[in-house]
Amino acid sequence: MYAAAVVPEFTQPLRKVHAVEGKTARFECAVTGTPVPEIQWYVTCEFCIHI
């Protein structure tokens, strides 16, 4: 039997981050949902990372 689908929800939304060009910036969030949501990050419309 399959679990009922649950709409993805941000349980920890993104926060504003100040970044310096050329340095690492860290963006964190938490998302729940069924099936488990796939998280993809984009910068200026370019794919960066898939979690």
- The neighbouring-strand residues paired with 46 are 43
What are the tens digits of pLDDT across the range 9-36? 999 988 888 889 999 888 888 999 999 9
C-alpha 42: how far from its chain's center? 10
Q: What pLDDT score was predicted for residue 51?
A: 61
Q: Are the C-beta atoms of 50 and 42 separated by less than 8 Å?
A: no
Q: What pLDDT score was predicted for residue 8?
A: 95
> What average pLDDT does the segment 36-50 reach?
77
Tell me the pLDDT band of 49, cut-offs 50, 70 and 90.
low
Query: Amino acid identity, residue 28?
Result: E
C-alpha 39: how far from its chain's center? 4
